[in-house]
Amino acid sequence: MDARNQVSPTDVGKRVSFQFELPNGFLGEAVGVLEYYDEQAETYVVRRKDGSLARVPRRGVRFGKVVPG
């Protein structure tokens, strides 16, 4: 795992923050609770405050951390 990404698949249920880039060049952010890690797709699934889900590709993570608190 890249040093810029401090989130691991075992952090399910914790509040996390990601900055990521998709293959098409789109830059995004996701802040919320890590719902699960899809091993086959190598994707973090984050539930945002508004209830929507964000899929964050592991390879596209520019920065990821567990938010204390």
Beta carbons within 8 Å of 14's beta carbon, 6+ residues apart: 33, 34, 66, 67
Q: Which pLDDT does position 8 carry in this prediction?
A: 95
State pTM to two decimals. 0.90
Q: Which pLDDT does position 33 carry in this prediction?
A: 98
CA–CA separation, 13 and 17 (whole Å): 13
Q: Which pLDDT does position 69 carry in this prediction?
A: 76
Topology adopted by domain 9-66: SH3 type barrels. (2.30.30)
Q: Which pLDDT does position 2 carry in this prediction?
A: 62
pLDDT profile of the chain (69 residues), mean per 10: 85 97 93 97 97 96 93
Domain ranges of the chain: 9-66
